[in-house]
Amino acid sequence: MNLVNSLFRFSAADGGVPSWAWKWPALAWGFAEATFFFIVPDVFLTYIALKDWRQATRACFWALGGALIGGAVMYAWGALDMDSAEDFLETVPAVNYDMLKLIESQVESDGSQASLSGRVTGPYKIYGAYAGAAGVNLFTFLLISIPARLLVFLLTTWFFAAVFNFHFVYRSFDFQSPLKKLSPRGRMILLSVLWIAFYSWYFTVEPLPLERFRQ
């Protein structure tokens, strides 16, 4: 058994996740979050990771595909009518005027590379719209979006897979995460609590000073 399988071994009782249950939902969620939705695909991806980290990894690529399609849609909207795109973006939870203006200035100064700052200063959908408005090359924007989006999806998914399913065996040494001993329902409930706590903080905490990003 190779090292990766040693780190993330799943019991036979866990089973896998049928492909239809994660492919199209991951694609749709990636698209939705890149256009109008405000909950990241990572939420869905981490639930898959509770059952099978390999399928969760593949789902990351489907979510990426949806995100790129959504990014292209927002790019086109920004290129055609940025005023209406801005009006829409201001209705998205946790997005405000200052955030929009900050990202607009980032895109104007850094071009397509500004999307690498996504999730630090604002959602990907905003970068897509302003990239279109600024005339950034669409192909370049989407190309840079691949590592910008995929890396976050993979790291989040693998982190939760490790936290909930870590199981390392080497000769007589056998260690597994205490969370792995929880029932499947118990792990799902705990993961739900973690995401609810995160978004409760995200939507209620005082926004971080944007000045720190104006360098």
* Residue at 1 is within a domain: no
* Residue at 32 is within a domain: yes
* Residue at 4 is within a domain: no
What integer best gives the mean pLDDT of the chain?
Answer: 82
- Say how many C-beta atoms besides its own lie within 10 A of residue 138's C-beta: 17
Residue 127: partners with Cβ closer than 8 Å, 6 or more residues away: 71, 103, 106, 107, 114, 115, 117, 118
Domain count, the chain: 1
Of 212 and 67, the structure prediction assigns the larger pLDDT to 67
Residue type, 185: R
* Residue at 6 is within a domain: no
* Residue at 207 is within a domain: yes
Report the share of the chain in percent with pLDDT over 90: 53
* Residue at 11 is within a domain: no
pLDDT at 212 over 80: no
- pLDDT of res. 51: 87
Helix (H, G, I), strand (E, B) or coil at 136: coil
- pLDDT of res. 12: 34
Residue 126: partners with Cβ closer than 8 Å, 6 or more residues away: 74, 89, 95, 99, 100, 103
What is the spatial distance between Cα 99 and Cα 208, in angstroms, rounded to a whole number? Answer: 11
- Find the Cα–Cα–Cα–Cα dihedral 186, 44, 150, 108, rounded to 10°: -120
* Residue at 81 is within a domain: yes
- pLDDT of res. 215: 41
**pLDDT tens-digit readout, 6-50:** 333 443 334 556 777 789 999 999 999 999 999 999 999 999 998
* Residue at 89 is within a domain: yes
> Which residues in the chain belong to E strands, given as ranges?
167-170, 173-176
Q: How confident is the model at residue 160 (pLDDT cuts 50, 70, 90)?
A: very high
Q: Which domain holds residue 120?
A: 17-213
Helix (H, G, I), strand (E, B) or coil at 182: coil
Q: Which of 156, 99, 161, 164 is nearest to 130 (CA)?
A: 99
Secondary structure letter of residue 13 according to DSSP: T
**pLDDT tens-digit readout, 84-143:** 999 999 999 888 888 898 889 888 887 767 776 655 557 899 999 999 999 999 999 999
**pLDDT tens-digit readout, 91-107:** 998 888 888 988 898 88
